[in-house]
């Protein structure tokens, strides 16, 4: 049964996609299993060449992907153009890495030559959210294929368009049929996909609530799983920081992508000596943010991707006021007459660690700020949440910077910068932000398993093992 795909910019329908049912999922698995037998015969160097050809094709079609991604997600066009480059670079990175996966030779006692080798899991299932669908599709498919797996990808029901385009490009690059399939649909499609015992690996990016459901389904079949879940990341500004740079970074970390980032720096901690000055400047900057059509050059904040997320953000803004926080600044935004899913970028002060706006992931352009006095207090406040995905620290004191990096419980720490990502750097979280790592050498470990091989140079039963 087809469903409409709607643009969050104006609420207009972009097209329709199929809701794949259990029978379609079953067929996808049957196809994947047959494809896997053929893909395993393909030398790693040839797999890499296919991915490199895909990277070249994706670069030539970058503008098409960017325009489609902006229409489907409401993300700023300047951001989706950068992300189109990231997706192409992802295929280039893993294309180059495909034939460089190695094992180890191990020195063990006795007359043995012992080594390890990496083996692909088989059918790798990727499930991705709606906030950065093109990049996440690339990050799930490219490493799976590079290391000898086949890929089943389920994009979010609301934002499937660039994933479907990606599948077309991969076929054009020479990827044989069935090696990378995109399964469109909602919760029922996802449930059928992750509950199937033919899944050899599940890699999920999304909300922690959905992660719990997927983890339970995977556990029934003992399917290995890695999950990158939500975040409530602190940005910590010390009095000695470069406040101009910190201010720009705080705005970027909290309000870019309309706050719809797992790494959003949505909790701001500012040392008391500069708190009043910094918050005054920040309030003025937030009030001046330009909200509107993401295709326009002047726009800084676009719409939320879905009506449900828009409503949740508006509810959390009201909740913050009900909890006693002070709404220090917000920006004007297009109303309901626009047809789009817009919300006001909002800054809260006079908050405490127990307030929900300081503890829960909002996934919208809402920033809450608190003062702190010492490093110890900054650490305590930073850890006053269940999440542990990322954190930012601003200070000119190099020793303090590395002390904070050592003590903060989060998968990624940015020192005097924020929101920098690379396929060559591992990424993931701890606690309610999930487990497992994607990117860099960790991707090899994620998408392959270790096989140990013992060879006796003196065939027979070793001394001491006689019956």
Q: Which residue has the tokens 């000119």?
A: 396
Among residues 146, 100, 155, the alpha carbon closest in space to that of 126 is found at 155
Question: Which residues are identified as catalytic?
Answer: 228
Pairing of strands 448-456, 112-120: antiparallel
Q: What is the DSSP letter of 427?
A: B
Percentage of the chain beyond pLDDT 70 is: 100
For the chain, what is the radius of gyration of the CA atoms? 24
* Contact by Cβ (8 Å): 261, 387: no
pLDDT tens for each residue of 97-131: 999 999 999 999 989 999 999 999 999 999 999 99
Contacts for 276 with CB less than 8 Å, ≥ 6 apart: none
The pair of structure tokens assigned to 444 is 């090899």
Tell me, which fold does domain 234-415 have in CATH?
Answer: Aldehyde Dehydrogenase; Chain A, domain 2 (3.40.309)
> pLDDT tens across 14-61, in order?
999 999 999 999 999 999 999 999 999 999 999 999 999 999 999 999
Q: What is the fold, at CATH topology level, of the domain defined by 2-229+433-453?
A: Aldehyde Dehydrogenase; Chain A, domain 1 (3.40.605)
Question: Average pLDDT, whole number, for the chain?
Answer: 96
Examine the pLDDT at 1 and tell me if it is beyond 90. no
Residue 268 in 3-state DSSP?
strand
User: What is the token pair recorded at 430?
Assistant: 């701890």
- Band (461; pLDDT cuts 50, 70, 90): confident
pTM of the model: 0.95
**Confidence class of residue 386 from pLDDT cuts 50, 70 and 90?**
very high
Summarize pLDDT for 331-385 with one digit per residue, the tens: 999 988 899 999 999 999 999 999 999 999 999 999 999 999 999 999 999 999 9
DSSP 345-408: -EEEES--TTSHHHHS---SSEEEEEEE-SHHHHHHHHTSSSEESEEEEE-S-HHHHHHHHHH-
In this structure, the number of other CB atoms found within 10 A of the CB of residue 278 comes to 22
Q: Please report, for the chain, the start and end positions of each structural domain, with discontinuous segments joined by +.
A: 2-229+433-453, 234-415
The token pair that represents 120 in the structure block: 């692909």
Among candidates 75, 209, 193, 68, which has minimal Cα distance to 127? 193
Residues 6 or more apart in contact with residue 454 via CB below 8 angstroms:
112, 113, 114
- Inform me whether the pLDDT recorded for 283 exceeds 90: yes
Predicted confidence (pLDDT) per residue in 187-219, tens digit: 999 999 999 999 999 999 999 999 999 999 999
């Amino acid at each position: 049964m087809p469903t409409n795909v709607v643009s969050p910019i104006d609420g207009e329908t972009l097209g329709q996609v199929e809701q794949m049912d259990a029978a379609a999922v079953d067929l996808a698995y049957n196809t994947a299993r047959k494809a896997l037998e053929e893909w395993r015969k393909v030398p790693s160097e040839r797999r890499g060449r296919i991915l490199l050809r895909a990277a070249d094709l994706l670069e030539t079609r970058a503008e098409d992907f960017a325009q489609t991604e902006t229409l489907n997600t409401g993300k700023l066009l300047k951001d989706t153009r950068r992300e189109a480059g990231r997706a192409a670079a992802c295929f280039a990175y893993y294309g180059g890495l495909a034939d460089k996966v190695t094992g180890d030779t191990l020195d063990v006692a006795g007359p043995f030559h012992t080594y390890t080798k990496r083996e692909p899991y088989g059918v790798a299932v990727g499930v991705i959210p709606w906030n950065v669908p093109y990049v996440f599709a690339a990050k799930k498919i490219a490493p799976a294929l590079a290391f000898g797996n086949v890929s089943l990808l389920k994009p979010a029901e609301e934002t499937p368009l660039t994933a479907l385009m990606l599948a077309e490009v991969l076929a054009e690059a020479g990827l044989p049929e069935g090696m990378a399939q995109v399964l469109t649909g909602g919760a029922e499609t996802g449930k059928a996909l992750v509950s199937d015992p033919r899944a050899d690996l599940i890699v999920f990016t999304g909300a922690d609530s959905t992660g719990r459901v997927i983890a339970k389904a995977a556990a029934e079949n003992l399917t290995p799983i890695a999950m990158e879940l939500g975040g409530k990341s602190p940005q910590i500004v010390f009095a000695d920081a470069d406040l101009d740079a910190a201010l720009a970074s705080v705005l970027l970390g909290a309000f870019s992508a309309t706050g719809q980032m797992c790494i959003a720096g949505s909790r701001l901690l500012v040392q008391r000596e500069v708190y009043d000055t910094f918050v005054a400047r920040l309030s003025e900057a937030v009030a001046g943010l330009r909200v509107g059509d993401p295709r326009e050059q002047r726009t800084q904040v676009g719409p939320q991707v879905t009506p449900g997320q828009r409503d949740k953000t508006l509810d959390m803004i009201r909740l913050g006021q009900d909890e006693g926080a002070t709404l220090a600044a917000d920006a004007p935004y297009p109303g309901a007459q626009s047809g789009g899913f817009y919300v006001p970028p909002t800054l809260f002060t006079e908050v405490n660690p127990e307030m929900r706006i300081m503890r829960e992931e909002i996934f919208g352009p809402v920033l809450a700020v608190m003062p702190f006095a010492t490093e110890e207090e900054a650490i305590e406040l930073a850890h006053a949440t269940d999440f542990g995905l990322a954190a930012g620290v601003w200070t000119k004191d190099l020793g303090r910077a590395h002390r904070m990096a050592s003590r903060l419980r989060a998968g990624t720490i940015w020192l005097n910068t924020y929101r920098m990502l690379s396929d060559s750097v591992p990424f993931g979280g701890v606690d309610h932000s999930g487990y497992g790592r994607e990117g860099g050498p960790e991707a090899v470990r994620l998408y392959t398993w270790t096989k140990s091989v013992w060879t006796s140079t003196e065939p027979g039963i070793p001394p001491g093992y006689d019956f």
